[in-house]
Amino acid sequence: MTQPDHQRIAVIGGGVAAHSALKAFLAAAGDTVGSTTVDIFTREAHRPYRRPSVNKDILIDGKGAEDVALPGAVFDGSDNIDVSLHLSSDVTAVDTTDRTLTVNGEQYSWDQLIFATGASPRHLDTPWLDGRNVHYIRTPEHSTSLRESLTALTSGDNVVIVGAGILGLEAAAAAASLTEATVTVLEAQDDICRRILPAAAAGWLRDKHTAHSIDIRCGLSDDELSATVAELDPAVVVVSVGLDRDISLARSAGLDVGRGIVIDEYGRTSVPGVWAAGDCVEIHAEDGTVTLPEDEGSARLLGGIVGLTMAGQETDRFLLSPPKGWSRQYGLMLNLLGATGRPVQSGQPGPSSHPSDHELVLTSDEDELVVFSLESRSGGESVVSGITTVGRSPIVRKAKNALGMTLNEVESEFFTDETLIPSST
């Protein structure tokens, strides 16, 4: 790819995807690109930070935004690349014909543009939350505010978490560690973490919460949710029911959008010279697969692919790499690799690609867990599509390498007389 003598790159969003794109572009560009200016616009008042740390370090451990910030060296640019980070800057319009964007009433020109607008917590607009102390978790300010509310509670108070996904359960674990109040988790699905965990891992995690006196109630209708909230009369409510991708700006700019900004496996949108990465995207692969990534690892990986491709470097397609995730609860690290989730009750798969068909439990005890999620392929062969682990023993480390193994290979390598456990779908 021939680079112009001078180019202007604009990035909308200041999260992990934006940081990774800039880092990869700087590393790949070197002397191969001419003079370049990069303007990064973010609504937030902080430089890019690790999104999972909002729950894990700020809410649970009481750290600040500066403690979880990503390395700032990338914003120094290089000899031929000048980088400007614009904090508290809300882009209100993008013109893909004139190649301009408007922020705080001022226009900026661009030659290449990256949408890294991320996602926002899905809000519940329901009468049974009216007038209550409702919190959502996405930013450092969210976690700091929730932490202050939780630490002010007493043993006679109730905390309600609406949503039993990973983030909701992290909030429940944090509440249990920060207050003596009673903590109750409410979930509409028939089990916790259906989109992200196999059944055996969900049961293991639920037992952990039960051991810490967390009351988890699943399979609730809207009327039952309303009645339960009224009965408990919580002093604090935390809502964690998913994300809405921030695509309104991309839609108004004329980009193809679905549930996210439509891109290919290299981050290219429907408009030449316009890219997208992070939680805002909907990836359409060559084989027709549509993926909606929602994890930091995917944001980092896709951002890096965009940065490399913009610099004219060849790189692997996004979907060649399996999604990764992690969660720290009660001092234990839960690690996810590949497609570990199950279908939700509507029958739609979770964001981690195809749901698994069945699972094998290698080990499950108080502080160690290995669950293989398997997917049936053409011809009836089952292949490990996801791995859920807790612990760092030799067998756990070995199990992390089993992705892609056939069922026969897994049984030969790891099992003697263990039984195949069907997933509860």
The CATH number for 164's domain is 3.50.50.60
How high is the pLDDT of residue 80? 83
How high is the pLDDT of residue 33? 65
- Dig out the tokens for 365 from the structure: 């005890």
How high is the pLDDT of residue 290? 92
My answer on whether 270 and 361 are in the same domain is no
pLDDT at 113 over 50: yes
Read off the pLDDT band of 202 (50, 70, 90). Answer: very high
Structural domain contains residue 345: yes
- Dig out the tokens for 218 from the structure: 């699943």
How high is the pLDDT of residue 350? 45
What is the rounded average pLDDT of the residues 359-372?
95
What is the rounded average pLDDT of the residues 297-319?
92
Give how many domains the chain has, as a whole number: 3
My answer on whether 116 and 257 are in the same domain is yes
Of the three residues 241, 272, 300, the one that is the final residue of a domain is 241
My answer on whether 200 and 307 are in the same domain is no
How high is the pLDDT of residue 211? 97
Neighbours of 284 (CB within 10 A): 16
Structural domain contains residue 136: yes
Domain range for 191 is 123-241
Under 8 Å CB-to-CB from 84, ≥6 apart: which residues? 37, 38, 39, 40
Crossing angle of helices 199-211/166-178, nearest 10°? 10
My answer on whether 63 and 164 are in the same domain is no
Q: Answer with the residue of higher pLDDT: 78 or 228.
A: 228
My answer on whether 296 and 352 are in the same domain is no
Read off the pLDDT band of 368 (50, 70, 90). Answer: very high
Of the three residues 296, 320, 344, the one that is the final residue of a domain is 320
My answer on whether 249 and 237 are in the same domain is no
The C-alpha atoms of residue 217 and residue 199 are separated, in whole angstroms, by 16
Out of 36-50, 220-234, 240-254, 310-324, least confident range:
310-324
pLDDT at 379 over 50: yes
Tens of pLDDT, residues 22-66: 999 999 887 666 789 999 999 999 989 988 888 878 998 889 888
Of the three residues 193, 226, 241, the one that is the final residue of a domain is 241
How high is the pLDDT of residue 50? 87
Specify the length of the chain in residues. Answer: 425
Tens of pLDDT, residues 128-175: 999 999 999 999 999 999 999 999 999 999 999 999 999 999 999 999
My answer on whether 80 and 221 are in the same domain is no
Q: Answer with the residue of higher pLDDT: 332 or 350.
A: 332
Q: Answer with the residue of higher pLDDT: 377 or 83.
A: 83
My answer on whether 25 and 98 are in the same domain is yes
Mean pLDDT across the chain, nearest whole number?
91
My answer on whether 201 and 334 are in the same domain is no
Structural domain contains residue 1: no
What is the rounded average pLDDT of the residues 293-305?
91
Q: Answer with the residue of higher pLDDT: 313 or 206.
A: 206
Structural domain contains residue 404: yes
The CATH number for 417's domain is 3.30.390
My answer on whether 79 and 184 are in the same domain is no
Read off the pLDDT band of 353 (50, 70, 90). Answer: very low
Structural domain contains residue 11: yes
Structural domain contains residue 361: yes
Highest mean pLDDT among 110-124, 353-367, 410-424: 110-124
Q: How far apart are the first and last CA of the chain?
A: 48
My answer on whether 274 and 130 are in the same domain is no
How high is the pLDDT of residue 32? 61
Out of 1-10, 64-73, 254-263, 376-385, least confident range:
1-10
My answer on whether 77 and 91 are in the same domain is yes
Read off the pLDDT band of 187 (50, 70, 90). Answer: very high
pLDDT at 104 over 80: yes
Distances (CA, A) of 95 to 21, 42, 43, 91, 254: 22, 18, 19, 11, 9
How high is the pLDDT of residue 224? 98
Structural domain contains residue 101: yes
